[in-house]
Amino acid sequence: MMKTMMRQLVLGAALAFGVAAAAGAANTPAAEAATPRSEGEVRKVDKEAGKMTIRHGELKNLGMPPMTMVFRAADPGMLERVKPGDKVSFVAQKVDGAITVTDIEVAR
C-alpha cells in the first residue's frame, strides 16, 4: 500500500511538472514567433504608465476585430522605439490577464 501511494505521489508530481513546463513554453521565443503579427498605427505613447494606444487590424490570435485600444508594453524599451503616427507590425498576447504587446517593429 505504501509503495502504491508513493508511486502515485511521484507520478502526480511528474505530471504537475510537465504541465508547468508546457505552460512556460507558451512564452518562449519559438511560441512568440508562431503567434500571428498584427498591423496598426500608434496613436499615443504613455511612458509613465508603460502603455501605448494602437489603432489595429484584426488580432487573430485573440479573436478581436479591428479597433483602437490601449496595450501594456511587455518591455518599457518598446515605448522608446515608437511614436504617434508610426505604422507598426506587432504581437499582442494576453499576459497576466492584460492584453500586452510582446514585440513591435516600426514598418519601413
Tell me, what's the pLDDT at 29?
54
* Burial of residue 64 (number of CB atoms within 10 Å: 0-12, 13-18, 19+): middle
Radius of gyration of the chain (CA): 19
pTM: 0.69
Asked whether residue 25 falls in the same domain as residue 49, the answer is no
Q: Is 98 helix (H, G, I), strand (E, B) or coil?
A: strand
The residue segments making up the domain with residue 14 are 1-34
Asked whether residue 42 falls in the same domain as residue 24, the answer is no
Q: What are phi and psi of 35, to 5 degrees?
A: -75, 130
Tell me, what's the pLDDT at 8?
57
Tell me, what's the pLDDT at 53?
98
Tell me, what's the pLDDT at 35?
80
Candidates 16, 39, 50; CA nearest to 104 is 39
Which residues of the chain fall below pLDDT 70? Answer: 1-33
Domain count, the chain: 2
Tell me, what's the pLDDT at 23?
45
Asked whether residue 29 falls in the same domain as residue 80, the answer is no
Q: Are 81 and 65 in contact (CB under 8 A)?
A: no
Tell me, what's the pLDDT at 62?
94
